[in-house]
Each structure stands twice: as C-alpha cells, then as structure tokens.
Structure 1
Amino acid sequence: MKRKIALMMALSLIVLSVLAGCGGNNDKPAESSGENTGTPAPQSQTASNSPEKDVDLRIINFRVEDKTFYDEINAKFEQEYPNIHIKYDAVPTKDYAQLKQARLTTGDVDLVGGGARDVTDPVIRDNWLDISGQPYLERFLPGALKSGQADGKQYLFPMLATSVVTYYNKKIFADLGLSVPKTWAEFVEVCEKIKASGVDPVMFGGKDQWPINMILIGLEAGIVQGSQPDFYSGMKTETTKFTDPAWVEVYTKLQTLSKYLQKNAVGLAYGEAPGLFAQGKAAMMIDGSWSSQQIEAANPAFEVGVFLTPGSDKAELNNTAPVSNGDSGWMIYKDAENKDAALKYLEFLSRPDNYKRYIEVAKMLPVMKDIQMSSPITQAIAQLLNQQTGFWESYQVIGAKYNYTDYAIRTILGNMKPEEAAAKMQQDFIDSKPNWK
C-alpha cells in the first residue's frame, strides 16, 4: 500500500510539472482586458509589446498653453496604468514643425499633436494610424470627426473647436448707448462713435503679423461664404477667383477697419492684446475663441460680450459663424512602438469627466456631445454658432501658394490697394499650380 501511495504521489508531481511548463511562460504577451477602454483595439492596431510590460508613451504637442491640464491628466493616467510612463514634450507653434519632423524621422514618437491640415495633406497623412472603429469616437460630434477623415478613414482624434468673434466691452457700449451691430454699416457707425469718445475702437496685436488672419476670417465668413457657400470649390477651375468682387470687398473693408485700430497696432505683440483689452484699453477685439482664457485671467471682473463680425451689409449673412473643428487633436504614428498604449491614452481622454476637465481648464469649445461649459465667455460664443461654416483657410488647395498675411498687412498700412492685394493673391495661386495636390 505504501508503495502505491508513493507511486501515485510521484505521478501527480510529474503531471503538475508538465502543466506548469505549458501555462507558465511569463514572456507571452498578455491580452488586453478592454476594461475602461471600450472594445479592445483590433489586432492590426495593437502594439507588439505586452500591456503588462513597462513602456514609455512618447507624446509631442504644440499647445503649450494646455500644460496645466496635461500635467494633471498624465498623472491620473499613470495611476490607472502604472506600467505606462508618459514622456510628454510641448513646444511653441513656431518650433513645433521642426520637432515633429525630427521625431517622425527617428521614429521617436507615439502620439502626435496636430490638426486637420495633417490629414488633408496626403503626404503628411501617410504617417498616421487609422483609428476608425474605436467605440469612444461615438462620443464626438460628427462635424468634429469629419475634420480628421480622409479616404473613408479616421486619423484625427479631435480635442476642440474654435471660432473667430468680436469681443466687446459691455461697459463702454452701455456708457455710449451702443447696440451690437448687425451689419457692416452699423459696425462702422459704432466704430465712429467710439473713436469720437476718445477710446480706441478695436484692439489689434499685429506685431506677429499672422493675427491679421483673424480679421480676414471674421470678415470673409459673411462677405464670401455667407452669399456663396461653395465659393472655394471653383478655385481650381477659376470659376471663382480672388479677384472676384467678394474678396476685393474683404480687403476693402479690412482697409476701412484699419482706421479704427489703436495707434501702432502692428507693433503690439499678439499675446499682449487680450490683457490690454480686458483692462479697457479698447472697446472691441476681433480674435479667436481661444483668447477668452487670457481675457478672463487678465480681469475676472471684466464684463465682456461677443458677436460675429458683421462683414456683410446684409444682416442675415452675418449669422454665418466661422468655425474650425480641426485646429487641435491627436494622431497616432502608424509605426509607433506603443500603439496599444496610445489607444488607451485616447480612450482615457475621451471619458466625459476627463474631457470636460479639459474644456474647463483650456476654456475651449467642446467637440464632444453633452459637455457643459463653465466659462461664461465660452458659453456666449457657443450660442453664436448655430449656422456654421469653416475657416476659409480650411478650403485652401494643398500645395498652393497663399500670401494673404503679407498682403493684408500691407493693406492696413496703406502700402497696397485692395484690388492689388486680391490680384496678387490670385496670381500667386495660379503660379503655384504645378505644386497643387
């Protein structure tokens, strides 16, 4: 009997040893449970390294102003995924193209901050992973998703929308008995009354030159797209041209508006303008919705209102709000080593509580459904956006040449006539035809 018991014990040990050998390979990649990430990513989009192993998720971004949010959210993400260590680098926009190119060239990146232009350009688009089918994308507004689509695929994970509006000082308007202008004629009349009172009508930080585009975007929406929504679809065939009356009108009204800018407007740095406006140094400021954060920070007690810049003489056309849904978002590098970690990060950002926190901190317009905004200015801007059109820049032909910033600055300085600016734009566009994509 003792010999039988000993034999049975020996056999049991052998069986256990064999089973352990079959199931105990610690080097085998573990399957993602999908917990808190929606449906697990398709196999073709999942990185080869195990979610159990330590990985460095390498992220680059150009929105340095979002540092507070990303410091907070990255720490929160690492608590939930302790094996994923975030290496986050953000640099100003002027330095970002160089950083992005260097990191893509060396392959030292997983998540790349960018926008719609990174998707519309086929050469740049070839760098990105198709994230179509990720369940969390259903949380976003269709228009926002569309800005990051091409060839039936989704490449951009959108983070925000922006608009261009005219901010105005409610106290100055009330003191002068002014109403919000609905037409261009009313806008000029308001500017005249403000100027006559000794106050600068419009604050403009033009030292960096590119902010002139905010004024162009504000005027163009009602003048061009308000009356001709498909204007830019005819540019390649010259059915429509920059020399058409609509764009000459844009430059003409820009020139008129230049009379109401503060003295030495082209010498003021763009970043200084919102703070000065909040201090009451001018009655209005034509700028992007993103400046609401600086305005509120500069003077929390400041009573500010917003309206769409009335470029047209027809009030109904000025209800066309210029909106960009693809200014900022995320793309996954298609050859990234850590695709699985990058997909988890995007899912984490898309959770309503985390995304709402972003909107609260960044004070941007949300692109996700059912997100309430706490910023009074942002709420006021959102109420203007019922009838939307894209920033005219979003309809530019890839590879074409556009020097509108230079010509606009020359126009407000009086060095170029509106007709000449429009003609130069059209000539540049046609001359660049060999580079069109």
Structure 2
Amino acid sequence: MTKTIRLALLASTVLSGAAWAQDVTLTIESWRNDDLAIWQDKLIPAFEAAHPGIKVVFAPTAPAEYNAVLNSKLDAGSAGDLITCRPFDASLELYNKGHLADLSGLGSMANFSDVAKSAWQTDDGAATFCVPMASVIHGFIYNADAFAELGIEVPKTEAEFFAALDKIKADGTYIPMAMGTNDQWEAATMGYNNIGPNYWKGEEGRKALIAGTQKLTDPAWVAPFAQLAKWKDYLGDGFEAQTYPDSQNLFTLGRAAIYPAGSWEISGFNTQATFKMGAFAPPVAAEGDTCYISDHTDIALGMNAKSPNAEAAKTFLDWVGSAEFATLYANALPGFFSLNSSPVAMEDPLAQEFVSWRGKCQSTIRSTYQILSRGTPNLENETWNASANVIKGTETPEEAAKRLQDGLASWYEPQK
C-alpha cells in the first residue's frame, strides 16, 4: 500500500469519526414525567451502550403544561433535539409550522403499518414526522375469581356478554360493571369507541366517515349506542354521579366484576387488586364474526427540525423504531403496546392477553381522532356527551346519532 493511499484512508477514517469525536448530547422533550425512571434506568443506558459518543437526556414537563411549554421553546429556538409527539392534530400542527422534521426516509419507518403511522402523518400520508412508539388497546378487564365463583365463561359474543351480566346481577355479590357517566369521556372512550369497531368494521367504517360515504346516522354507527343504552341496568346504583377514580376503586376493591377498560389501567390495577384478573375483547355479534379492536395510537417521537444534532437524533430515532426498543419499552410499561411490526413477547400476563388480540382481530383507532374533531362542534367531545346521555337514558341512540351527524355536517364538507 502506498503512503498516499494510507494517508487518504487515515484521513477518511478521521473524518467519518469526526461527528462523534466529541460527545453529542440529545435532549428529549416529553409530557410523560411518570416515565422518567424507565428512560433513565432502562432505555437510555441500552442505547448509550451501543452508541458511544451519543448521550441522551430525558427532560419531561408536567403533562398539563407540555403543549404550552413546548410551543414556547420551539418558537424561542430552545427546544430539545427530540420531541415526544401526541397523536394527530397537535403534532400535525407542529409539523405544518416547520417545527418537526419529515422522517419518511428513516429506515426504521419500514417497521410500522399504515395504521400505526396514521397518527403522525399529513392527511395525504405523504410525510411521516414521528416514529410510532406505543398504542393503548381497549377491551374489558374482569375479576377472574368472581367469574370462577359464579361459573361464568369468558364471553365471546354479545349474547354471552349480556348473559354474564345478568348472572352477576342476579347473584347480587358484585356490581356487574364498573363505569360511571359523571366524567363523560369514559362512556365514549371505553364505551362507544371500545365496542363500536365491531359494528362499523374498524378502519373501513372510520375511513368511510372521513370520506363522507357513511354517516353517523347509519345503522353501523347507531348500533353501538343501542348497546350502550342496555348497560344502564348493570352499572350499579348512583352511576350517574360516579367518577372515573370511583370506577377504578370499585373494581380494584373487588366490588365490581367487569371493568370496560383501556390497557393503560394494567400497571395500576396490578398493584391495587388482590384478586386474579383477566381480559376479553369486545364481544362480536355472532360466533365466527371478524372481530375489531381499538388499538389506539398514543405516543411517538419526532425530531426538532432545527436540532443542531440531526444525524445523532436520527440514529436515536432509528433505534426507537427497532425491535430492541419495542421489547424494552412495552415491558417497562405494560399496557402501552409497541406499534412495531416485530412481535413483542409481554412478560405481564394481562398485557399479553390484550396484545394477543392483534393476532385474531383487525386493529383500528378511535373514530373521532383523525380530521373529524377539527371543527366546532368538536366530534370527540360531543361523543363523550352523547355516550353518557345514552347510557343514562336522557337521549335515545337515534337522537344522539342525529345530533352528532348534524354537528359534523355543519362544518365538515364531505358530510354536508
């Protein structure tokens, strides 16, 4: 080898290593201050061990203050390199303002489905600006000891579901189902958008609503309200004044047999409940029907478009899109499920039950979250109110559906 070639190789080696010659420190902005220990003790050490020269600092803000604080930092040019992304419009607005970089070309984006990426894309899907991290799955958590005691099989169909509720009610030991309507959002989130996808066929119906080819007054959208109207008889005395924490306590104290749930409850319920728990997916109309689950996109990570450490940030984001991160994150936070296409074995049995439904059912996201809640009246908030009213019996399923449809049609062109 000639001296010139040796010098050229040496120079290229020095230049290629120049980016990491000095430690680069990346800062993550997030609202998940409850995750601080997980990032510091598990996630960041795993990344740094494999990527010497890149240091990572997780710097969260209180959830209620996050949006305002982040926007101020971005406007002032003082925001961190990595931005934790809420789903849909809040992050889309950041991208449209030029605060989030387009990450469509990132290699790890190939590890995510269109549904997984939909919460962090432009409406036309041309740009994806955050790497999906986790979703929450809806279904029902039940007191397995109570089911065993009363001889109840886990329901798969609607008929079996209501037969189980009737049996629990007739026995009188347990409130059949723990849900209140005081806070309203649970009635929609763990009620309407939990059972609804089985009626409107998940993504098929959700996209048809956005396209204007289906209406909220169509049978597939009224039917979940009709089921919610039947829940009233199983919620226990005073459910109208029952708050979300009241419902959680009723269940974990062993006073209610079934809890319409989001998977985010798993960690808390594991520490509070003294009985064995199980979970079942929203029951289908008839045995053998295709099942659909709300597997709702919840959290992702993007890059500050003005980060001075863009290459190091992309290296980190590629790792966030890897199977290694998916396994670490999902097991550190049972109930927040990886959106990565690589299957993740869950160590928590209740979490494993929830995530196993992905292999049997079609995944969709909450019907109101993409595009349809941008106007006034806000469809998401109106669905809270309508769902609570239907359960209480102050509005019929048909009246609720018509009110929602009229509100949407008043500002959303495809529905006019």
Q: Shared topology, TM-score over 0.5?
A: yes
Bigger mean CA deviation after superposition, 281-290 or 229-238: 229-238
Shift in alpha-carbon separation, 1:245–1:138, aligned structure 2, 3 A: closer
Matched residue, 1:309: 282
Q: CA deviation at 1:253?
A: 1.5
Contact 1:309-1:318 at 8 Å conserved across structures: no
> Which residue identity lines up with residue 113 of structure 1 in the other structure?
T
Q: Post-superposition shift, 1:367?
A: 2.5
1:113 Cα shift?
A: 1.3
- The Cα shift of 1:154 comes to 3.0
Corresponding position of 2:33: 64
Match in the other structure for 1:399 = 374
What is the distance in 1 between the residues matched to 2:198 and 2:149?
29
Distance 2:204 2:108 in 1: 32
- Counterpart for residue 203 of structure 1: 178
Secondary structure class of the residue paired with 2:185: coil
Work out whether residues 78 and 86 of structure 1, in 8 Å CA contact, stay in contact via their aligned partners in 2: no
- Alpha-carbon separation, structure 2, partners of 1:271 and 1:342: 39
Partner of 1:329: 300
Establish whether residue 377 from structure 1 lines up as the match of residue 350 from structure 2. yes
**Is the deviation greater in 193-202 or in 66-75?**
66-75
SS at match of 1:280: coil
| Residue aligning to 2:160 | 186
Q: Given the alignment of the two structures, is residue 255 of structure 1 paired with residue 229 of structure 2, yes or no?
A: yes
Shift in Å, 1:330 = 0.5
Corresponding residue to 2:315 among 334, 344, 369: 344
Answer yes or no: is the 8 Å Cα contact 1:160–1:327 preserved in 2.
Answer: yes
Which amino acid in 1 is paired with 2:102?
D
Separation in structure 1 between the aligned mates of residue 52 and residue 142 of structure 2, nearest angstrom: 45
2:95–2:101 Cα contact (<8 Å) kept: no
Q: Does 1:222 align with 2:193?
A: no
Looking at structure 2, the residues matched to 98 and 140 of structure 1 have their Cα atoms a distance apart, in angstroms, of 29
Q: What is the alpha-carbon distance in structure 1 between the residues aligned to residue 120 and residue 346 of structure 2?
A: 24
Q: Is the 8 A contact 1:204 1:266 kept in 2?
A: no
Partner of 1:429: 408
Q: What are the Cα deviations for residues 70-119 of structure 1, in whole angstroms up to 9, with x where unaligned?
A: 22234565675566462511322x44332333233223222221244148
1:91-102 equivalence runs, <5 A: 91-92=62-63, 94-102=64-72
Q: How does 1:102-181 map to 2 (within 5 A)?
A: 102-109=72-79, 110-118=81-89, 121=92, 124-125=95-96, 126-140=98-112, 143-145=115-117, 147-150=119-122, 151-181=125-155
2 CA distance for matches of 1:345 and 1:278? 39
Greater Rg by CA: 1
Matches of 1:233 and 1:331, distance apart in 2:
25
Q: Give the direction of change, closer, same or farther, for the CA distance of 1:259–1:245 in structure 2 (3 Å limit).
A: same
Aligned match of 1:367: 339
* Ranges in structure 1 where 5+ consecutive residues have no aligned partner: 1-18, 25-29, 35-49
Q: Whole-Å Cα distance in 2 between the matches of residues 55 and 206 of structure 1?
A: 50
Look up the SS of the partner of 2:265 in the other structure.
helix
**Alpha carbons of structure 1 residues 264 and 231: separation in structure 2 relative to 1, 3 Å:** same
What secondary structure is seen at the aligned counterpart in 2 of 1:211?
A: helix
| Shift in Å, 1:435 | 11
> 2:200 and 2:316 mapped to 1: Cα distance?
40
Q: How does 1:216-295 map to 2 (within 5 A)?
A: 216-225=192-201, 230-235=204-209, 238-271=212-245, 273-274=247-248, 276-295=250-269
RMSD: 3.3
Instruction: Using the TM superposition, give the Cα deviation of residue 362 of structure 1 relative to its aligned residue in structure 2, in angstroms.
Output: 0.3
1:413 and 2:387 aligned: no
* Consecutive aligned runs of 4 or more in structure 1 exceeding 6 Å deviation: none
2:290–2:361 contact (8 Å) kept in structure 1:
no
d(CA) in 2 for partners of 1:177, 1:314: 22
Once the two structures are superposed, the pairs formed by residues 36-55 of structure 1 within 5 Å of their partners are 51-53=20-22
Is contact 2:183-2:243 (8 Å) kept? yes
Compared with structure 1, are the counterparts of its residues 390 and 350 closer, same or farther at alpha carbon in structure 2 (3 Å cutoff)? Answer: closer
User: 1:243/1:71 Cα in 2 relative to 1: closer, same or farther (>3 Å)?
Assistant: same
| Aligned 8 A contact 1:308 1:318 in 2 | no
User: After superposition, what is the alpha-carbon deviation per residue over 1:119-151, rounded to whole angstroms, capped at 9, x for unaligned?
Assistant: 884674553212233334445566534654444
Shift of 1:434: 6.4
CA apart distance, 1:284: 0.6
The change in CA–CA distance for 1:112 and 1:225 in structure 2 (over 3 A counts) is same
Q: 1:45 maps to which residue?
A: none
Instruction: Quickly say closer, same or farther: Cα 1:243–1:99, change in 2 above 3 A.
Output: same
How many Å apart are 1:353 and its aligned residue?
4.1
Residue 400 of structure 2 aligns with an amino acid whose one-letter code is: A
